[in-house]
Amino acid sequence: MLDMPFIRIIEGLNHTLENVIAPEVESTLAKGQLFAVVEILKQISGRFDHKHELIVEDIQVSQQMLTTLIETFTAAAIDIPDEFQANTETIDATAMSGEQLRQQRDRLEIIVSAALDLLNSHRAEIVDAQKVEHTVFMQLGKNLFRNMLLVSQHRFDKISQLDKED
Protein backbone atom coordinates (compact mmCIF):
# COMPACT_ATOMS: atom_id res chain seq x y z
CA MET A 1 0.00 0.00 0.00
CA LEU A 2 2.81 2.37 0.85
CA ASP A 3 4.11 1.93 -2.69
CA MET A 4 1.07 3.87 -3.88
CA PRO A 5 1.26 7.55 -4.81
CA PHE A 6 0.69 9.51 -1.59
CA ILE A 7 -2.06 11.54 -3.21
CA ARG A 8 -4.08 8.32 -3.54
CA ILE A 9 -3.43 7.30 0.09
CA ILE A 10 -4.57 10.69 1.35
CA GLU A 11 -7.70 10.55 -0.80
CA GLY A 12 -8.58 7.24 0.85
CA LEU A 13 -7.92 8.52 4.36
CA ASN A 14 -9.93 11.68 3.76
CA HIS A 15 -12.85 9.73 2.34
CA THR A 16 -13.13 7.68 5.54
CA LEU A 17 -12.55 10.68 7.82
CA GLU A 18 -15.28 12.66 6.10
CA ASN A 19 -17.87 9.98 5.36
CA VAL A 20 -17.45 7.40 8.11
CA ILE A 21 -15.87 9.11 11.11
CA ALA A 22 -17.23 12.68 10.96
CA PRO A 23 -20.91 11.62 11.09
CA GLU A 24 -20.20 9.73 14.33
CA VAL A 25 -18.44 12.66 16.04
CA GLU A 26 -20.86 14.48 18.31
CA SER A 27 -18.71 17.36 19.57
CA THR A 28 -18.86 20.30 17.15
CA LEU A 29 -15.34 21.30 18.19
CA ALA A 30 -13.95 17.83 17.47
CA LYS A 31 -15.86 17.63 14.19
CA GLY A 32 -14.46 21.01 13.11
CA GLN A 33 -10.93 19.91 13.97
CA LEU A 34 -11.46 16.71 12.00
CA PHE A 35 -12.46 18.68 8.91
CA ALA A 36 -9.38 20.86 9.44
CA VAL A 37 -7.25 17.71 9.27
CA VAL A 38 -9.05 16.66 6.07
CA GLU A 39 -8.43 20.08 4.57
CA ILE A 40 -4.73 20.16 5.47
CA LEU A 41 -4.15 16.67 4.13
CA LYS A 42 -5.92 17.61 0.90
CA GLN A 43 -3.85 20.75 0.47
CA ILE A 44 -0.51 19.05 1.02
CA SER A 45 -1.23 15.79 -0.83
CA GLY A 46 -0.12 17.04 -4.24
CA ARG A 47 3.23 18.13 -2.84
CA PHE A 48 4.40 14.76 -1.50
CA ASP A 49 6.40 12.13 -3.30
CA HIS A 50 8.38 9.06 -2.32
CA LYS A 51 12.05 9.52 -1.54
CA HIS A 52 13.76 9.09 -4.90
CA GLU A 53 16.90 7.60 -3.38
CA LEU A 54 14.93 4.66 -1.94
CA ILE A 55 13.41 3.81 -5.32
CA VAL A 56 16.76 4.23 -7.06
CA GLU A 57 18.33 1.80 -4.56
CA ASP A 58 15.55 -0.70 -5.30
CA ILE A 59 16.19 -0.37 -9.03
CA GLN A 60 19.93 -0.84 -8.57
CA VAL A 61 19.42 -3.98 -6.49
CA SER A 62 17.05 -5.47 -9.08
CA GLN A 63 19.62 -4.79 -11.80
CA GLN A 64 22.33 -6.48 -9.71
CA MET A 65 20.11 -9.53 -9.25
CA LEU A 66 19.31 -9.61 -12.93
CA THR A 67 23.00 -9.43 -13.84
CA THR A 68 23.77 -12.39 -11.54
CA LEU A 69 20.96 -14.40 -13.07
CA ILE A 70 22.00 -13.58 -16.66
CA GLU A 71 25.55 -14.77 -15.87
CA THR A 72 24.11 -18.02 -14.52
CA PHE A 73 21.93 -18.59 -17.59
CA THR A 74 24.82 -17.79 -19.91
CA ALA A 75 27.10 -20.27 -18.13
CA ALA A 76 24.43 -22.97 -18.43
CA ALA A 77 23.70 -22.10 -22.09
CA ILE A 78 20.06 -21.31 -21.33
CA ASP A 79 18.28 -18.95 -23.72
CA ILE A 80 16.93 -15.78 -22.16
CA PRO A 81 14.50 -13.11 -23.36
CA ASP A 82 16.12 -9.93 -24.76
CA GLU A 83 14.43 -7.80 -22.10
CA PHE A 84 16.63 -9.33 -19.38
CA GLN A 85 19.83 -7.81 -20.80
CA ALA A 86 18.13 -4.58 -21.87
CA ASN A 87 17.07 -3.87 -18.30
CA THR A 88 20.54 -4.03 -16.77
CA GLU A 89 21.57 -0.73 -18.34
CA THR A 90 22.08 2.17 -15.94
CA ILE A 91 19.19 4.62 -15.83
CA ASP A 92 19.37 8.39 -15.46
CA ALA A 93 17.35 8.75 -12.28
CA THR A 94 17.78 12.53 -12.21
CA ALA A 95 15.75 12.82 -15.41
CA MET A 96 12.85 10.77 -14.08
CA SER A 97 9.83 11.73 -11.98
CA GLY A 98 8.85 9.79 -8.88
CA GLU A 99 6.04 8.13 -10.82
CA GLN A 100 8.41 7.09 -13.62
CA LEU A 101 10.89 5.69 -11.10
CA ARG A 102 8.16 3.67 -9.36
CA GLN A 103 7.04 2.26 -12.70
CA GLN A 104 10.61 1.34 -13.60
CA ARG A 105 11.13 -0.35 -10.21
CA ASP A 106 7.91 -2.35 -10.58
CA ARG A 107 8.79 -3.36 -14.16
CA LEU A 108 12.22 -4.54 -13.03
CA GLU A 109 10.76 -6.57 -10.17
CA ILE A 110 8.50 -8.36 -12.64
CA ILE A 111 11.48 -9.13 -14.89
CA VAL A 112 13.62 -10.37 -11.98
CA SER A 113 10.76 -12.59 -10.84
CA ALA A 114 10.43 -14.00 -14.35
CA ALA A 115 14.19 -14.67 -14.33
CA LEU A 116 13.88 -16.45 -10.97
CA ASP A 117 11.06 -18.59 -12.34
CA LEU A 118 13.21 -19.42 -15.36
CA LEU A 119 16.03 -20.44 -13.01
CA ASN A 120 13.62 -22.64 -11.07
CA SER A 121 12.34 -24.35 -14.20
CA HIS A 122 15.94 -25.17 -15.24
CA ARG A 123 17.20 -26.27 -11.81
CA ALA A 124 18.48 -29.58 -13.12
CA GLU A 125 20.70 -27.88 -15.71
CA ILE A 126 22.26 -25.37 -13.32
CA VAL A 127 25.13 -26.15 -10.99
CA ASP A 128 23.81 -25.48 -7.47
CA ALA A 129 20.70 -23.42 -8.34
CA GLN A 130 20.02 -22.87 -4.65
CA LYS A 131 23.39 -21.18 -4.21
CA VAL A 132 22.50 -18.78 -7.02
CA GLU A 133 19.16 -18.10 -5.34
CA HIS A 134 20.94 -17.41 -2.08
CA THR A 135 23.32 -15.01 -3.83
CA VAL A 136 20.49 -12.97 -5.35
CA PHE A 137 18.62 -13.12 -2.06
CA MET A 138 21.64 -11.60 -0.29
CA GLN A 139 21.66 -8.81 -2.88
CA LEU A 140 18.09 -8.01 -1.83
CA GLY A 141 18.91 -8.13 1.86
CA LYS A 142 20.13 -4.59 2.44
CA ASN A 143 16.96 -2.98 1.08
CA LEU A 144 14.68 -5.37 2.99
CA PHE A 145 16.48 -4.43 6.19
CA ARG A 146 16.22 -0.74 5.29
CA ASN A 147 12.46 -1.06 4.75
CA MET A 148 12.01 -2.88 8.03
CA LEU A 149 13.72 -0.01 9.86
CA LEU A 150 11.28 2.41 8.24
CA VAL A 151 8.34 0.70 9.99
CA SER A 152 7.29 2.41 13.22
CA GLN A 153 6.11 0.57 16.30
CA HIS A 154 2.43 -0.11 15.67
CA ARG A 155 -0.37 0.47 18.18
CA PHE A 156 -3.05 -1.95 17.02
CA ASP A 157 -4.48 -2.18 20.54
CA LYS A 158 -5.50 1.46 20.19
CA ILE A 159 -7.18 0.73 16.85
CA SER A 160 -9.10 -2.15 18.41
CA GLN A 161 -10.07 0.16 21.29
CA LEU A 162 -9.33 -2.41 23.96
CA ASP A 163 -7.78 0.12 26.29
CA LYS A 164 -11.19 1.55 27.19
CA GLU A 165 -9.76 3.71 30.00
CA ASP A 166 -7.68 5.70 27.55
Partner 1 sequence: MALADNSRLASYLAEKLGGSELSISKEWQNTEGWSMETFSLDVEYTKGGNKIEQAIILRRQPVSGLLEPYDVSIEYRILSALQASKVIVPETFWYEADPAVLERPFYVMEKVPGDVHFVTQNSDPDYRLIADDDERASLAEDFIDNLVHIHQSDWKSLGLDFLGDPGPGKNSALQQIDYWSDVIERAGVRAKPLVTLAVNWLRTNAPETDQVRLVHGDYRTGNFIYQHSHITSILDWEMTHLGDPHEDLVYVLGALWRSPAPTDWVCHLLSEEDFLSKYEQRSGISVDRDKLNYFQLLLDLKAVGIMATAANAFAQNKTEDLKPAAFGSILDLAYAALAQHLNERLSSC
Residues that bind partner 1 (CB under 8 A): 1-2, 4, 8, 12-13, 15-16, 19-20, 24, 62, 65, 106, 109-110, 112-114, 116-117, 119-120, 123, 130, 133-134, 136-138, 140-141, 144-145, 147-148, 150-151, 154, 156-157, 159-162
In our burial notation (b when 16+ CB lie closer than 10 A, e otherwise), range 101-119 reads: bbebbeebeebbebbbebb
| Residue 112 CB, nearest approach to partner 1 (Å) | 5
Cα angle 43-49-52, degrees, rounded to a multiple of 5: 160
Using the minimum distance from each CB to partner 1, give the nearer residue, 86 or 95.
86
Using the minimum distance from each CB to partner 1, give the nearer residue, 39 or 157.
157
The Cβ of residue 62 has, within 10 Å, a number of other Cβ atoms equal to 27
| Residue 89 CB, nearest approach to partner 1 (Å) | 19
* Residue 54 CA neighbour count, 13 Å, CB half: 15
Using the minimum distance from each CB to partner 1, give the nearer residue, 15 or 51.
15
Using the minimum distance from each CB to partner 1, give the nearer residue, 86 or 151.
151
| Residue 54 CB, nearest approach to partner 1 (Å) | 12
One-letter amino acid for residue 63 of the chain: Q
